[in-house]
Amino acid sequence: MTNTLTIALLFFVSALCAQQASGPSYLLLSHDPAFLEEVGKLSEPVYAKGRARLVRFTVPYASLPPQIAAYVRPADIGEISYGPAPAPEVKMADPAVLAVTNRVSGARLMGYAETLTNTGKRGAKDLDASAASGNRAAMDYIENAFKELGYQTERHCYKERKKDRECNILGRRKSAVSGAKTIAVVGHMDSVGHNNAGADDNASGAAGVLEMAKVLSSYAADHDLLFIAANGEETGVAGTYALAKKMKASGEMASVAWAINMDMIAWNRNGILDIETNKEFSAFADWVAAQAVIYTKLKPYISMPAWGSDHVPFLEAGVPTYLSIENWEDHNPCYHQACDKMDTLSWTYAADLVKLNLAVVAGKAKLTPLKP
C-alpha cells in the first residue's frame, strides 16, 4: 500500500515537473552572476554551451520579476550554434595589412585600460551619486584621447542623471572620398560600478577602441570612421540603443557598412576568441575568423545568436556586426565582481584581438599611410 502510494505520488510529481518545464524556452540576455542565481530558482536549464544559456521557466512568464523578464527572450534551440570557425582556404598574409597590425602596442593598450580602470566608480548609475564620478572621468579621458588623435569628438548625451548626464563619447573622421560608407567601432566604457575595477569588463574593450583609433590616425581611409565609447551598456545596452535610434532617425545608420564590438578582450587561458553575430551574417563572421588565423595567434570560435552587448543594436538595424570577446566557455571568473582588476589580464591576448579587428578594417577598406 505504502509502495503503491509512493509510486502514485512520484508519478504525480514527475507529471507536474514535466508540465512545469514544457513551456517555451528563453535565451538569457545577461550572465551577471546574481541574475543567473535568480533565474536558476525559477527555471530549468535547457542548453548551456559557448555564449548561449537557454532555460524553461517553472513559473508562468507573466509572474517573472521585471528585472528578469527584461533580460530574456523566447528562443529556439535551433537558433543556437557554437564551435570552431571553418579553416580558411587562403592563409597568405597581405604585407599591407601586416603593416597596419604591426602598429598595435600591447603596452599602450594596457595603459589606456589602466587609466580607465582607475577612474573610480564607472557605473552609469554612479552619475547619480557624484558629478565627479569615475564614469564622468572616463568620459572626459576618452574625449580628450580622441581629440589628441585628431578626431572630431561628440558627446551624445541621452539621459539626465541626478548629478550629471549619461553620454556616449564619439570620435569621427570623414573620408576625403565623397559618399564614403562608415566603419563603426564600439566598446563600452561603463562598468557595473565597483571602485577602480571593471578592468576586463570593459576598460579592455574601450581601450581597444582607443588603440584602433590611435593606429588608424596614421592612415587615410576610403571610409568614414566612427569610434564609439558607449555608456550604459551594463544597464540594458542603453547608450548604443539610444545612439542607434538617433542614427536611424538622421539616416546615418544607412551609411554604416559594418561594425565591430569589443567587450571583455583581455582575460585568456586557452587562446580562443569568440566571434558572435546573427545567422544572416555568418559568412562575414567566417571571413573575420579567417583573418584571425592569418594575422594573429587566436583560435576563432563562432557563436550565434547575438545577445547582451553593443553589437545587438547595430545588428537589429541590419548592419553586419560582430562581437569580439574572450572565450565565454572559460571567461573571467571576476566577471561583474570587485576583483575584475588589471593584474589578472593578458595584454598579449588583447593586443592580438585588436590586431584582428584592424586586419578586418585593413582588409575591407583602403588605407593609405599618412606618414612613414
Rule CB under 5 A: which residues touch Zn ion?
Answer: 201-202, 263
Query: Is residue 343 classed exposed, middle or buried when 0-12, 13-18 and 19+ CB atoms within 10 A define those classes?
Result: exposed
CB of 311 to Zn ion, least distance (A): 11
Nearer to Zn ion, 227 or 307 (CB): 307
CB of 134 to Zn ion, least distance (A): 15
CB of 31 to Zn ion, least distance (A): 10
Nearer to Zn ion, 25 or 117 (CB): 117
Nearer to Zn ion, 106 or 198 (CB): 198
**Contact, 314 vs 260, CB < 8 A?**
no
**Contact, 368 vs 223, CB < 8 A?**
no
Nearer to Zn ion, 182 or 202 (CB): 202
Nearer to Zn ion, 164 or 263 (CB): 263
Nearer to Zn ion, 201 or 340 (CB): 201
Query: Is residue 180 classed exposed, middle or buried when 0-12, 13-18 and 19+ CB atoms within 10 A define those classes?
Result: middle
* Run of H or E residues at 301: strand 299-304
Task: Give the integer Cα–Cα distance in Å for 355 and 360.
Answer: 9
**Contact, 64 vs 55, CB < 8 A?**
no
CB of 56 to Zn ion, least distance (A): 27
CB of 340 to Zn ion, least distance (A): 10
Angstrom CA distances, 222 to 49, 103, 212, stand at 40, 20, 16
Nearer to Zn ion, 203 or 367 (CB): 203
Task: Give the integer Cα–Cα distance in Å for 52 and 319.
Answer: 22
Q: How many CA atoms lie within 13 A of 336 on its CB side?
A: 10
Q: Cell match 545577461: residue?
A: 30
CB of 343 to Zn ion, least distance (A): 19
DSSP string, 1-29: -HHHHHHHHHHHHHHHHHHHTTS-EEEES
CB of 201 to Zn ion, least distance (A): 4
> What letter would DSSP give residue 337?
S
